[in-house]
Amino acid sequence: MPVLVMKFGGTSVANLDRIRRAAKRVGVEVAKGYDVIVIVSAMAGKTNELVGWVNETSPLFDAREYDAVVSSGENVTAGLMALTLQEMDVPARSWQGWQVPLRTTSAHSAARIEEIPTDNINAKFGEGMRVAVVAGFQGISPEGRITTLGRGGSDTTAVAFAAAFDAERCDIYTDVDGVYTTDPRIASKARKLDKIAFEEMLELASLGAKVLQTRSVELAMRYNVKLRVVSSFEEQSDDAGTLVCSEEEIMESNIVSGIAYSRDEAKMTLISVADRPGIAAAIFGPLSEAGVNVDMIIQNISEEGRTDMTFSCPVEQVTRAEKALQEAAERGEINYHDLVADTNVAKVSAVGIGMRSQSGVAAQMFKTLSDEGVNIKVIATSEIKISVLIDRKYMELAVQALHDAFELDKVA
Ligand code: ADP
Ligand code: ASP
Ligand code: MG
């Protein structure tokens, strides 16, 4: 029988009523003749609570134990979803990641999926089971420890299962009815897209649009998974929501297709570091070893052999970054006068494939921000995106102003 993957995010399984509602949606697909693999997230807010408990217990925690704790939310919803389906007379059972086993690397809290054997679940489908409910976000390392795939990782579990089982489609059920030109919770004029290209979705996701985890889009692109984002709160037709697909399948083409933001960024500046060959490696090597995700980097023009180095990273990694740099300085690998952290910044980005062939987007973006009196602290560009770091208090204003300036509420 054809296989369908259906993933339900936290708000879609936030309580027993919502789990029942999601199970009914699954029942509809089973009745159409699909064998269904359901991937569930933890109940809304649960993972945040678990992360909070870990941080309170041990600020520079052992990542293996972090994973043991934060993966547990999904176990509860997987079991409850299987029970709910059984109550509806749909033959179903649950799997935790290690039972599949969903094999990952040992990069705890940010593990990558290496293998999903299909025999175990397929054997059960062969025996008449119609729904395999799998706990999202989690797997098992080569050392036999529980791993997690990074925040939002259930999306990636879903796409990886769709690829492994050659599913007809991977439907991501969430609390919005598709991918919008920007977060509809921030800009009321945000417009739902019927289709979005993999490359654009990849950029939007990596720049903060959390509707899909970045890695899930990468996998969908690589394995050509038919990926759809739909609402779990509205009745669905087969063409509802947003289809993430290849560029060739899209007719509409705004130069800028979306605005993304990332609220909790920090800007760190090392003041007066010796400017010599190898200095960037001496700074960013220890940061990488400490697990700090450095994003934008600027090195100023050097004066008398000394320079300032600025970089951005997620705000929750500032303590880790400071510790790594202080230790490198104590070991004599780097030497700086001061380390200044600005923890009140956010990143706002414009994304669009059309930028490859059209100039002027950067100029318009800077002018729009300037007209709103927003000061730009750091700029980064690539082929299809422009990002700026600004004061966090202007973030929503900047997103709305840019959405207006690029007329994203209108179809080109
Ligand atoms: P889930 O719990 O279902 O995985 P998430 O909270 O991870 O849901 O992702 C859905 C949220 O993503 C939406 O509620 C919305 O606020 C946010 N979001 C950010 N950017 C976008 C966008 N461009 N389109 C749609 N939603 C977006
Ligand atoms: N529950 C995890 C999180 O909140 C994974 C997910 O929902 O995708 O990050
Ligand atoms: Mg999510």
Q: Tell me the CA end-to-end span of the chain in Å, nearest whole number.
A: 41
CA-to-CA distance for 59 and 76, rounded, in angstroms? Answer: 26
Any residues with CB less than 8 A from the CB of 231 and at least 6 apart, and which? 173, 174, 175, 176, 177, 178, 240, 241
The pLDDT of residue 126 is: 97
Asked if residue 139 belongs to a domain, the reply is: yes
Dig out the tokens for 116 from the structure: 């999903």
CA-to-CA distance for 254 and 263, rounded, in angstroms? Answer: 25
Asked if residue 191 belongs to a domain, the reply is: no
- Per DSSP, what are the bridge partners of residue 265? 314, 345
SS3 of 138, please? strand
Measured over the CA atoms of residue 222, residue 223, residue 226 and residue 228, the dihedral's sign is: negative
The strand pair at 227-231 and 169-174 is best described as parallel
Asked if residue 235 belongs to a domain, the reply is: no
Asked if residue 230 belongs to a domain, the reply is: no
Q: Are residues 390 and 282 in the same domain?
A: yes
Pocket lining: 97 vs ligand 2, CB cutoff 6 Å? no
Tokens 């010599």, located at residue: 276
The pLDDT of residue 252 is: 65
The pLDDT of residue 140 is: 98
Tokens 């190898």, located at residue: 278
Complete DSSP assignment for 27-41: HHHHHTT-EEEEEE-
Query: How long is the chain?
Result: 412
Ligand 2: residue whose CA is nearest its atom 9:
151
* Last residue within a domain, chosen from 143, 175, 207: 175
Dig out the tokens for 80 from the structure: 């409850």
Pocket lining: 209 vs ligand 1, CB cutoff 6 Å? yes
* Last residue within a domain, chosen from 157, 175, 193: 175
Read off the CATH number of the domain in which 98 is found.
3.40.1160.10
CA-to-CA distance for 171 and 241, rounded, in angstroms? Answer: 9
- Per DSSP, what are the bridge partners of residue 139? 147
Asked if residue 187 belongs to a domain, the reply is: no
Asked if residue 249 belongs to a domain, the reply is: no
Q: How far is the CA of 367 from the centre of ligand 3 (A)?
A: 33
Q: Are residues 267 and 363 in the same domain?
A: yes
Dig out the tokens for 402 from the structure: 């840019």
The pLDDT of residue 357 is: 86
Pocket lining: 98 vs ligand 1, CB cutoff 6 Å? no
CA atoms within 13 A on the CB side of 156: 27
- Per DSSP, what are the bridge partners of residue 346? 390
Backbone φ, ψ for residue 35 (5° rounding): -85, 130
Q: Are residues 264 and 382 in the same domain?
A: yes
Any residues with CB less than 8 A from the CB of 151 and at least 6 apart, and which? 47, 213
- Contact yes or no for 268/341 (Cβ under 8 A): yes
* Last residue within a domain, chosen from 120, 142, 175: 175
Largest CA distance in the chain: 77
CA-to-CA distance for 323 and 229, rounded, in angstroms? Answer: 40
Residue range(s) defining the domain that contains residue 267: 259-405
Asked if residue 184 belongs to a domain, the reply is: no
Check whether the bond before 101 is cis (ω within 30° of 0). Answer: yes
Q: Are residues 168 and 271 in the same domain?
A: no
Q: Are residues 168 and 263 in the same domain?
A: no
Q: How far is the CA of 137 from the centre of ligand 2 (A)?
A: 6
Dig out the tokens for 374 from the structure: 């927003």
Dig out the tokens for 217 from the structure: 């889009």
Number of domains in the chain: 2
Q: How far is the CA of 126 from the centre of ligand 2 (A)?
A: 30
Read off the CATH number of the domain in which 347 is found.
3.30.2130.10
CA-to-CA distance for 10 and 74, rounded, in angstroms? Answer: 9
Pocket lining: 182 vs ligand 1, CB cutoff 6 Å? yes
Ligand 1: residue whose CA is nearest its atom 21:
183
SS3 of 291, please? coil
Dig out the tokens for 241 from the structure: 């929501």
Any residues with CB less than 8 A from the CB of 189 and at least 6 apart, and which? 400, 403, 404, 408, 409
Q: How far is the CA of 340 from the centre of ligand 1 (A)?
A: 32
- Contact yes or no for 59/323 (Cβ under 8 A): no
- Mean pLDDT in runs of 10 for the chain (412 residues)? 97 98 97 97 98 92 95 98 98 98 96 98 98 98 98 98 98 96 96 95 96 98 97 80 92 87 97 92 96 92 89 94 96 95 98 90 96 96 95 98 96 80
Strand extents, DSSP E, 67-176: 92-95, 103-104, 113-115, 131-135, 138-140, 146-148, 169-174
Whether pTM > 0.85 for this model: the answer is yes
- Ligand minimally distant from the alpha carbon of residue 175: 1
The vertex-181 CA angle with 180 and 184, nearest 5°, equals 55
